[in-house]
Structure 1
Amino acid sequence: VVVSNLFDVTLVEEELRSTLSRTGRDLFLAITGSHPFTISILLTELQEKLNSVGSLALYLFKFLCLDSWYPTEEDLQCLSYWLMYTPASSLENNLARIILSKMNWGFTADKKSLALPRAIHERIALLIVDVSLKLNSKLGQGNLISEGVKQVTSVVYAPSPEQVLLKWSWSMLNQLHLHQMDQADDEVRALLANQSLVLRGIGDPFVTPSLEPLKNGLSAKNPLAIFTALLMSSWGHSVPEVKVKLVWEQEKYANKV
């Protein structure tokens, strides 16, 4: 109740927010620092009142520390929807990117595990692949060549919101820990000691249902999907399979050209 009332007074009420928004920001910084779960309350409030809050939502979350926040299923659904189904230039899409970028994708203080479960890392990675496929479809980026041209062009000219989102997608993907060898030290040492465990829980994009976004991306020759497949599927964990898949991709590309 306190968080909701403070939110309304400092960010929603037009007569007050011009003078109280900074005070509200500082108070929320202190509150969420001591009670990280209140970030979920703020996100719920924003879903209902984002039109009233406007760009102050970006102002607020740029200052909040999300290192200790553990998002709920509802939080992840909200962020996924904003990223996937709102325009790249929209407030919702920008806010989702800020929040996801500021979440703690590293390890716990003792370095014994990820701060957020690996399942969340994988979920966000697959979401990013879906977003990339949607962007490529909109921008007409169907293959590696056109993708490269767009990236070079964006350096010369002001990038479009979609290109900014695509660039963010690559940056965000690099924050995630997806590969078996990119986990906590104890886990990696255990895998090296018993390499038969390396493929445990690792799926094939063309067989495992949960990896369907990768399957779609690989079929479309989406660069981000190919990279993600190397990080979180059997394509990047089995040396023989890596060789076979690379030859297969080269042959498909040669035939297409």
Structure 2
Amino acid sequence: MKVMVCLKQVPDAGEGEAFLQQVGEEVQVACDDWVLNEWDGFAVEAAVHLIEEHGGESMAVSIGDEAVEGVLRRALAMGVDQAWRLQPDSNSADDSMRLAHSLMGAALTWKPDLIICGAMASDSGNGLVPGILAGKLQWPFVALATGLKWDGKSFLVRHEIHQGMESLEKIGAPLVVSAQSGLNQPRYVSIRGIRRVAKREIPMKNMADLSLSPLQNHVELVDLKRRFPPSGAHAEILQGSPQEQISQVIQRMREQGVFTS
């Protein structure tokens, strides 16, 4: 069995300090500490547990620059066999179509039997990538998994469907699953385990390595920008004390018919 698990690096909302900062016209997230997305931790644990129980190989993948190697090393410390860092084909970190396109390339290259993603990203609330990835691969997809087993022929997936109700699905490989919180209890990672993988080389795969061409006919995600309206030529600066300025504002509003009393 081959299991691929997809990871995202997110700001540490519990310990670190995250804030928005302006870089030119763009608004970017700055953070003191980045960690593995909470839901992706359940995905890693599920992948490691399946391989421990049935044999095979697991691989973690994450899209981004060298900074994402931190979460890949955490997955290695938890027991994942290998990791790839995927070079993004866009500057947008939350463009679900582009993310799924890159992950599709990794899947077609490595050929896993099962792909596990976190159900959502804790920083953006985005949970679209697993379903889009399954659609691109034309694989079955089970969302919000709360139980995942292999019986030797098929995957048995228990998942949430509506208002606390759950359903049990029996589906053969290949399969894409999104891991809900409560799927398992991610194992503790010791300092020794982190040190063991600290110098391990993590290969970077670009679009050519994954035999991918740039995504075509795609509606681009517009990044949030901070812009101020241009100052008008007819602006009037009110003079006087705050009370006098308030009286002038009220007078202007009466003159323009905003109110008459």
- TM-score past 0.5 threshold: no
Rg: which structure is higher?
Answer: 2
- Which structure is richer in relative contact order (CA contacts within 8 A, separation 6 or more)? 2
Q: TM-score range by the shorter chain?
A: under 0.3
> TM-score with structure 1 length normalisation?
0.21
State the TM-score, normalizing by the size of structure 2: 0.20
